[in-house]
Amino acid sequence: MQALLSFENAPPFAAPLRFFLTAPLFAVLAGLLVAVEGPAVFASRWMPAALAATHLVTIGFMLQIMLGALIQILPVVAGANLGRPLLVARIVHAGLSGGALLLAGGFLFGRPLLLSAAALLLALTALIFLGTTLRALIGVPSTSPTIRGLKLALLGLAGVVGLGALMALGLAHGWALPLAALTDLHAGWGLGAWAGVLLAALAYVVVPMFQLTPGYPARPSWWFPVAMLALLLLWSAAVLADWPVLVRLVQWLAALAGIVFAGLTLRLQGQRRRARPDATYAYWQFGLIASILALFMLSTATVWPAAADLAGWTLSFGILMIAGGFMSFMIGMLYKIVPFLAWMHLQNSGQARVPAPNMNRILADLAMQRQMKAHAAACGLLLLGAVWPDWFARPAGLAFAFASGWLGWNLLGAVRRYRWHAADIAAKLAAR
Amino acid sequence: MTTIRTFMTDDHRHCDDLFAEAEQAIAKQNLPAAQAAFAHFRNAVLAHFACEEKTLFPTFEAKTGMRMGPTQVMRMEHEQMRALLADAVDALARGNSDDYLGLADTLLIMMQQHNMKEENILYPMCDQHLAAETPELLAHLESELTEA
């Protein structure tokens, strides 16, 4: 409620921006790692460099953007005002950046000390973030599927970070853990209960609003987050009890739920009333198709486990789901959020006396559309790399680094124009 | 039963429909149709702002005593949207569709995040505090919107 009371309570631009500007650098790093290490990265999902690159993307890119965006939107979407957002942003940003680098280093060089430090730093960072957001969300009633989804997604965050920290410490100290089963479970918590539920909760709001589509049907929207979380709890129980058949059944159901959500979103976007296919829309379409393919692979492997042993199968799933799906959704949303926030802050600093330039002047659609093509091409090369690593691993890494660098360049350009206009507005106000 | 939330939310959706019509017209390069459709949209939005500022917000403020609270922020956002509407009309009059599209994009997001705050926070507060006055208030709001 507080957030509504005054603009001063809205988080300053610097709070989310630090996450959005550093995230592309981690994706560049992941791409360069693949380019340097070459075909060996794609030998299996357990290769140290593959684990390092995966976490540079999931923590350094995805988690950065998700937490940065939450700091910005919790006040608007849920009326939950974080106390001292800039301080929280600084701490969480430093923790995530340091944690992602330590973890990637720990995997790559096989150093137990780095793995332990990463586990502790990331767990502490997640605890600080969860503590702050839970305090803000206490007393906020779940009046919409989005608010309930956000709350449940935070449980998913606790699950994925908790399991991840446990495994990193286990690796560092040589604990006897069932690492293969736990890794799948960790990925399930991360991609399903955390990123998937968060995506759905936000999609309920942003898809109808910004594409002017019909709304998501109410009942499935309420149930999707609950179902996903329940499935992950069941999956965890199945791993504890060592029931592989139940694990596969749960994976199949989770894949099905994801396909239904993505298919529904595709259908809604098909009914959109906006005349122009902008970069955000194109990114979402690409992301939805990639995720549906990934989830079909997942469901296939649950009924036909031998599929997972095919060359490049699991890596292809990861590439489609993470680079093709989640990264695309996030970049698509960033391309709306960053120019809008720039406009809003300029508007406020102009005090209605000096007009702010519109969003397209901050970040032009053409620049975003071109970068999107580079990202799509990089995803295609990564898939080829998973199947024919000798030929495609290095070009794929370079292409991914290039597309991510381009994203960073676009965002940086928006911020440079923002700063220029902010100085211009201040000068004009002073001259009055 | 119609609540303030459902009634006002329906009017938001009505404004969205008119926005979409204007955008379709500009996509078809039909400038006169776009100007007409945008004028239609603008009138609907201004009527919505007016009935909030003249009737709904003052009633809420009188009942709750919250004068510098959420309604004040909503009024400021109305001002920002009025400026965007005026700029967009300007861009259309100049036949500058690039500028128009940029302004329309900005306006749409501004409008949607504003609507979200009203629909999820302010209108439920109105329903809670103004339960006794609701039937009379709704009649008022309805006549103001149809007159405009």
Distance from CA of B148 to the nearest CA of A (A): 25
Q: What is the three-class DSSP state of A103?
A: helix
Residue A139 confidence (pLDDT): 85
Residue B28 confidence (pLDDT): 87
C-alpha distance from residue A371 to each of A3, A280, A365 (Å):
34, 12, 10
Residue A2 confidence (pLDDT): 38
Minimum-distance CB partner of A4 among B23, B24, B117 = B117
| A174-178, A238-242, A353-357, B60-64: range with lowest mean pLDDT | A353-357
CB–CB contact B116 A209 (8 Å): yes
Please name the residue of chain B whose CA is at the shortest distance from the CA of residue A4.
B70
Residue A16 confidence (pLDDT): 95
Tell me whether B103 touches chain A (CB under 8 Å): yes
C-alpha distance from residue A272 to each of A53, A207, A209, B73 (Å):
36, 9, 10, 30
Structure token digits, residue A126: 């997640």
Q: What is the three-class DSSP state of B75?
A: helix
DSSP string computed for B56-107: IHHHHHHHH--SSSHHHHHHHHHHHHHHHHHHHHHHHHTT-HHHHHHHHHHH
Q: What is the three-class DSSP state of B2?
A: coil
CB–CB contact A359 B80 (8 Å): no
Please state the rounded mean pLDDT for residues B10-14.
94
Residue A88 confidence (pLDDT): 95
* Chain B residues within 8 A of A279 when measuring between CB atoms: none
The tens digit of pLDDT for each residue in A402-429 reads 999 999 999 999 999 999 999 999 999 9
Structure token digits, residue B27: 């996509």
The band of A352, judged by pLDDT with boundaries at 50, 70 and 90, is confident
Task: Count other Cβ atoms within 10 Å, centred on residue A218.
Answer: 11
Token pair 């998700």 is found at A66
C-beta of residue B88 within 8 angstroms of C-beta of residue B105: no
**Distance from the Cα of residue A31 to its chain's centroid:** 17
For chain A, domains (ranges, CATH) are: 7-431 (1.20.210.10)
CB–CB contact B109 A336 (8 Å): yes
A56: buried, middle or exposed (CB in 10 Å: 19+, 13-18, 0-12)?
Answer: buried
The whole-angstrom separation of Cα A67 and Cα A64 is: 6
The whole-angstrom separation of Cα A146 and Cα A88 is: 23
Chain B, 57 to 76: residues with Cβ < 8 Å from chain A are 68-70, 73, 76
**Distance from the Cα of residue B50 to its chain's centroid:** 9
Distance from CA of A270 to the nearest CA of B (A): 15
The whole-angstrom separation of Cα A54 and Cα A72 is: 26
Residue A1 confidence (pLDDT): 37
Residue B27 confidence (pLDDT): 84
CB–CB contact B116 A5 (8 Å): no
> pTM for this one?
0.94
Question: Over 50: is that where the pLDDT of A7 sits?
Answer: no
C-alpha distance from residue B1 to each of A142, A342, B4, B29, B135 (Å):
21, 41, 10, 43, 10
Question: Over 80: is that where the pLDDT of A241 sits?
Answer: yes
The tens digit of pLDDT for each residue in A21-69 reads 999 999 999 999 999 999 999 999 999 999 999 999 999 999 999 999 9
Q: Mutating which of B3, B114, B121, B123 best tests the A interface, going by the most A Cβ atoms within 10 A? A: B121
Please state the rounded mean pLDDT for residues B7-36.
91
Q: Mutating which of A4, A146, A281, A341 best tests the B interface, going by the most B Cβ atoms within 10 A? A: A4
Residue B67 confidence (pLDDT): 85
Q: What is the three-class DSSP state of A429?
A: helix
Local structure of residue A75 (DSSP, 8 states): I
Residue A142 confidence (pLDDT): 86
Question: Over 80: is that where the pLDDT of A6 sits?
Answer: no
CA nearest A371: which of A340, A336, A333, A332? A332
The more confident residue out of A388 and A77 is A388
The tens digit of pLDDT for each residue in A176-215 reads 999 999 999 999 999 999 999 999 999 999 998 888 899 9
* Chain A residues within 8 A of B79 when measuring between CB atoms: 352
Question: Over 90: is that where the pLDDT of A276 sits?
Answer: no
Residue A201 confidence (pLDDT): 96
CB–CB contact B109 A361 (8 Å): no
Torsion (CA) A113, A114, A116, A117 in degrees, nearest 10: 110
Residue A9 confidence (pLDDT): 54
Question: Over 50: is that where the pLDDT of A8 sits?
Answer: no
Minimum-distance CB partner of B20 among A5, A212, A352 = A212
Q: Mutating which of A359, A368, A425 best tests the B interface, going by the most B Cβ atoms within 10 A? A: A359
Minimum-distance CB partner of B112 among A4, A210, A360 = A210
Residue A167 confidence (pLDDT): 98
CA nearest A4: which of A62, A78, A66, A68? A78
Residue A10 confidence (pLDDT): 67
- Write out the H or E segment, with its range, that includes residue A31: helix A14-37
